[in-house]
Amino acid sequence: MISVSLQRKKCIGCNYCAEIAPDMFRMSKKDGKSVLLNANEKGEFLNIRLPDTQRDAALKCQEVCPVSIIKVHDCKNP
Ligand code: SF4
């Protein structure tokens, strides 16, 4: 499992993550910022655990995000 988080408040709405991983991120029609789909909200952060099959796409999003607000970690506990 991996853990993906998004510090949504700082999103500049560039759309890169939603293009790379449309099943993980979607742009909000309300405020133009990215939404991490099905994620839990904790303070400024949206967080979700995903299977390893999503790792490459998540890492790509982490890499391209111009404001570095997407973070991907390995989960130790399943
Ligand atoms: S890549 Fe980063 S800044 Fe761009 S829409 Fe996604 S979260 Fe927002």
11-53 pLDDT tens trace: 999 999 999 999 999 999 999 999 999 999 999 999 999 999 9
Cβ of residue 15 lying under 6 Å from some atom of ligand 1: yes
Name which of 58, 60, 56 is nearest 72 in CA terms: 58
pTM metric for this prediction = 0.95
CA of 78 to the centre of ligand 1 (A): 27
Lookup result for tokens 């130790």: 76
Residue 41 C-alpha from the chain's centroid: 12
Lookup result for tokens 């990215």: 34
Name which of 1, 43, 35 is nearest 15 in CA terms: 35
Could you give the residue ranges of the DSSP H alpha helices within the chain? 16-20, 55-64
CA of 4 to the centre of ligand 1 (A): 13
Over residues 56-65, mean pLDDT? 98
Domain with residues 2-74, CATH architecture:
2-Layer Sandwich (3.30)
Q: Is the pLDDT of residue 76 over 90?
A: no
Q: Pairing state of beta strands 70-74 and 34-36? A: unpaired
CA of 77 to the centre of ligand 1 (A): 28
Counting atoms of ligand 1 from 1, which one is nearest the CA of 61? 1
